[in-house]
Amino acid sequence: MNQDKYCVRDISLAETGRKNISFSIKEMPVLTKIKQRFEREKPLKGIRVGMALHITTETAYLVETLIAGGALVSICSCNPLSTQDNSAAYLAKIGVSVFGYKGESKGEYYEFIERVISFKPQITVDDGCDLVTMLHEKHPELLDGVWGGTEETTTGVRRLKAMHRAGKLRYPVIAVNDNFTKHMFDNYYGTGQSAIDGIIRASNVLIAGKKVVVVGYGDCGKGVAARARGLGAIVIVTEVSPKRALQAAMDGHLVMPLMEAAKIGDIFITVTGNKNVVPFEAIRLMKDSAILANAGHFDNEIDVAALERNATEKEEIRPYFKRYRINGKDVYLCGEGRLVNLVCGEGHPSSVLDLSFAGQALAVGYLVKNRGKLNVGVIKLPKEIDDEIARLKLESMGIRIDTLTKEQIAYLNNWKEGT
């Protein structure tokens, strides 16, 4: 498995990867448009881009887009269980330096990030902030050579902001997550559908009639709750934010503290980006056959360590679906408590990642174009770029919209005109 340029599960999976990617591309018209422009203009010529993203079909297409723009890419995964081995094999086959396979150990996970860092990236593309953190903590001598970075997810943006507050962040990072066209689609529609899909693939349970407890009512939680309800579940939301809890109640969901929900829920899905939101005391209260899944970025939302320590019996029932005997009852954990949509399913549908990765590709182009001009810190992509992504997506869907008239523009900028 170990080679200099790549480390993947099985290079012979490349052809399956190619086939999967060829279908994903059909669902990614916005990224395709950007790729065509990159091919013509080569805005990333010779730039070294180091990436830590879930290695999936869509990511492979993003890598191809950056390469089309002239970039040199080295990539590892941002989660030990999320790599699609055929996509990784495809990338290796076309000559990309790619490090990752599904089921890699924690040690290998960090070793693979090191491999990407040794490529001396000028731009980092991160998902969760592990690449940026390691670069800053272990290789500060390389930071002068980094022009900027991009961050894909809420948890990564939170870490970057904390890093900046502590005066530690040394280069500008674009929070791609904060693009409207990212979090609105990816977190809401993407996580909404794919987290439920992951649970169904892991367990094959019927969602209709079940009490589904959604822990955290952010963009992801709202999407998960909406899709669970769409399948006929009774949705219970637990929150710590009064505003979000109020919104959940107004959306028609039951809202209660976790320790109450624990006693009645059938399926628990965490999407908070926070740690230990389903502690062991809550798990002890759960009914027999309760199912636990996490769709937040890290595997610290459910207290898996306590489950492992305290279970009187445990066994893998199906792939990534494990039974734990606690207090004379069985609870089932999907995907080892890691991102259920990527571990037990295939992650977001391609059409969702079309928008997220259009944002990533344009953010990389923006960083290169504005090298040296951007302030160190966590920054947003200009609104016009976000709007352009939405416009291109609408165009690809054959949807036309209206434009403001001159009179309306003047009215909206006027403070004198009232009733």
Ligand X SMILES: NC(=O)c1ccc[n+]([C@@H]2O[C@H](COP(=O)([O-])OP(=O)(O)OC[C@H]3O[C@@H](n4cnc5c(N)ncnc54)[C@H](O)[C@@H]3O)[C@@H](O)[C@H]2O)c1
Site string for ligand X, 386-415 (x = CB under 6 A): ------------------------------
Comparing CB distances to ligand X, the nearer of 155 and 181 is: 155
Structure tokens at 22: 């060829």
Comparing CB distances to ligand X, the nearer of 122 and 203 is: 203
Q: Contact between 161 and ligand X (CB under 6 A)?
A: no
Q: In what order do the strands lie in the sheet with 172-175?
A: 97-99, 72-76, 48-52, 123-126, 148-151, 172-175, 377-379
Comparing CB distances to ligand X, the nearer of 97 and 341 is: 341
Q: How far apart are CA 73 and CA 48, in angstroms?
A: 6
287: buried, middle or exposed (CB in 10 Å: 19+, 13-18, 0-12)? middle
Among all chains, which residue has been given the structure tokens 């060829």? 22
123: β partners: 49, 148
In the chain, the N- to C-terminal Cα span, in Å, equals 73
Geometric angle at alpha carbon 200, from 195 and 204, rounded to 5° = 170
Structure tokens at 11: 């290079």
For residue 93, the minimal CB distance to ligand X (Å) is: 26
Comparing CB distances to ligand X, the nearer of 108 and 197 is: 197
Interaction residues for ligand X, span 185-224 (CB under 6 A): 186-187, 191, 215-221
Select the residue whose beta carbon is closest to ligand X and give its number: 218
Q: How far apart are CA 68 and CA 73, in angstroms?
A: 11
Helix (H) or strand (E) holding 263: helix 258-264
| One residue of 274, 289, 327, 396 binding ligand X per CB under 6 A | 274
What letter does residue 330 receive in the DSSP assignment?
E
For residue 200, the minimal CB distance to ligand X (Å) is: 15
Comparing CB distances to ligand X, the nearer of 244 and 323 is: 244
Q: Contact between 385 and ligand X (CB under 6 A)?
A: no
Interaction residues for ligand X, span 218-257 (CB under 6 A): 218-221, 238-241, 244
Total of residues contacting ligand X (CB under 6 A):
29
For residue 138, the minimal CB distance to ligand X (Å) is: 23
| One residue of 57, 84, 154, 350 binding ligand X per CB under 6 A | 154
Structure tokens at 31: 């990224």
Sites of contact with ligand X (CB under 6 A): 153-155, 183, 186-187, 191, 215-221, 238-241, 244, 271-274, 277, 295-297, 339, 341
